[in-house]
Amino acid sequence: MKILTVVGARPQFIKASMLSKALKSLPEVEEVIVHTGQHYDANMSAIFFKQLNIPEPDYNLGVGSASHGAQTARMLTELETIMLSENPDIVLVYGDTNSTLAAALGASKLHIPVAHVEAGLRSFNKQMPEEINRIITDHLSNWLFCPSLEAVTNLKQEGIKKGVYQTGDIMYDSILHFRPYALQESSIIKHLNLSDKKYILATVHRAENTDDPKRFHSILKALQQLEMKVVLPLHPRTKSKINQFSYTDMIIDSSIQVIEPLNYFDMLTILSQANAVLTDSGGIQKEAYMLRVPCITLREESEWTDTVHSGWNHIAGSDTKQILDTVNAIKVPKEHPPLFGDGKTSQKIAEILIAHFKKSNTI
């Protein structure tokens, strides 16, 4: 069985590392990895692949930044060529990026079955490109691997019932596996002179926040006024917008400690030891829950609604007062339900796919 795995951003590689490891243990499986190059990430260097024991991609398309239409079209064109050449039995995609959408579209038009890891998530905000990507991908997929019961329910409400599996979240596999190594190898806490639970981690990168001067100013103003030290790894988009809107003074001479983007081990370490995290990232909301760190989401909604219902994630939007009030009212919940499975998601997905392959080859 040949599986063509398509990834386009660092978080997808982290997820894929666990499933690739599970697939590699099966002699019946050959995996071909395609990196679209959708997101440039300076931390995705050779050390990144070495730390996570990820095989180098067989193809690197180097697509880079562009408008959504142009980027997706270029990936679709190049992926189609690779699919025709490799003739895979399954195309495997992760999450909700343009790379995911392009791969699912390309595979479906060539009648190649699609497996979607992290299926069924919904923010119910179609202004988000990610929401469109995940909806279309789910409706094109043959296997839908859901991280939670809520994701299964979302699919059922859209009439998708066949091929749906509640496997748990593959990122939980990654955190359980890599956190001990990260805490042992990362020196970020010492380097930044931080104390355990005495700082707040903040990440801001979504266009809805950084491209809107009013929203962005309001968020930065809240970070300025927090009583606890704030550590802000500066995403390239965020940095460019700070310069464009002349907001540099807002992050100078304040309690905000601006740092460069972090590698995976450093990010895992600094997140796990934070008092709380303020973020507009979908992935970090989920990782915060897995690491039992309270999260304040700087958006109007979340695709990880079950973390909100559990009391570990709080929607604060971009209003300065709302953000400050939410941070000040945080109480660590006593309960921490196992929302994302048992850390064996990659093994379950591999077993489901190989079982199908063996069954189809005995008919």
N-term to C-term CA, the chain: 15
Q: Is 68 in a helix, a strand, or coil? A: helix
Q: Are residues 304 and 259 in the same domain?
A: yes
Q: Are residues 259 and 133 in the same domain?
A: no
CA dihedral of 256, 185, 286, 136, whole degrees rounded to 10: 110
- For the domain that residue 142 is a member of, what is the CATH number? 3.40.50.2000
Q: Is residue 191 part of a domain?
A: yes
Nearest Cα residue to 69 out of 41, 46, 102, 93:
102
Gap between the Cα atoms of 79 and 33, Å rounded: 11
The total number of structural domains in the chain stands at 2
Q: Is residue 177 part of a domain?
A: no
What is the model's pLDDT at position 54? Answer: 76
Q: Is residue 179 part of a domain?
A: no
The neighbouring-strand residues paired with 35 are 7, 60
Q: Residue 229, exposed/middle/buried by CB under 10 A (0-12, 13-18, 19+)?
A: middle
- Token pair belonging to 185: 């190898």
Instruction: Determine the residue type at 116.
Output: H
Gap between the Cα atoms of 104 and 138, Å rounded: 9
Gap between the Cα atoms of 109 and 272, Å rounded: 42
Confidence of residue 40 (pLDDT cuts 50, 70, 90): low
What is the model's pLDDT at position 63? Answer: 80
The strand pair at 295-297 and 276-279 is best described as: parallel
Residues of the domain holding 113: 2-169+341-360
Q: Is residue 174 part of a domain?
A: no
**Whether residue 205 lies in the annotated active site:** yes
Listed in sequence order, the DSSP H helices in 163-317 are 170-185, 188-191, 207-210, 213-225, 236-244, 264-272, 282-290, 305-309
Does residue 41 contact residue 9 with C-beta atoms inside 8 Å?
A: yes
What is the model's pLDDT at position 236? Answer: 83
Q: Are residues 198 and 148 in the same domain?
A: no
What is the model's pLDDT at position 363? Answer: 40
Q: Is residue 233 part of a domain?
A: yes
Annotated active-site residue in 35, 39, 116, 205: 205
Q: Residue 157, exposed/middle/buried by CB under 10 A (0-12, 13-18, 19+)?
A: exposed
Q: Are residues 209 and 319 in the same domain?
A: yes
Q: Is residue 175 part of a domain?
A: no
Q: Are residues 159 and 270 in the same domain?
A: no
Q: Are residues 103 and 51 in the same domain?
A: yes
Q: Are residues 97 and 221 in the same domain?
A: no
Gap between the Cα atoms of 358 and 336, Å rounded: 38
Q: Is 89 in a helix, a strand, or coil? A: coil
Q: Is 350 in a helix, a strand, or coil? A: helix
Does the pLDDT at position 82 exceed 90? yes
Q: Are residues 253 and 353 in the same domain?
A: no
Gap between the Cα atoms of 58 and 203, Å rounded: 32
Q: Are residues 313 and 356 in the same domain?
A: no
Select the highest-mean-pLDDT range: 12-16, 44-48, 57-61, 76-80: 76-80
Does the pLDDT at position 262 exceed 60? yes
How many of the other CB atoms lie within 10 Å of CB of 110?
A: 14
Unique residue bearing structure tokens 């464009």 = 244
Q: Is residue 314 part of a domain?
A: yes
Among 50-59, 135-144, 252-261, the range scoring the smallest mean pLDDT is 50-59
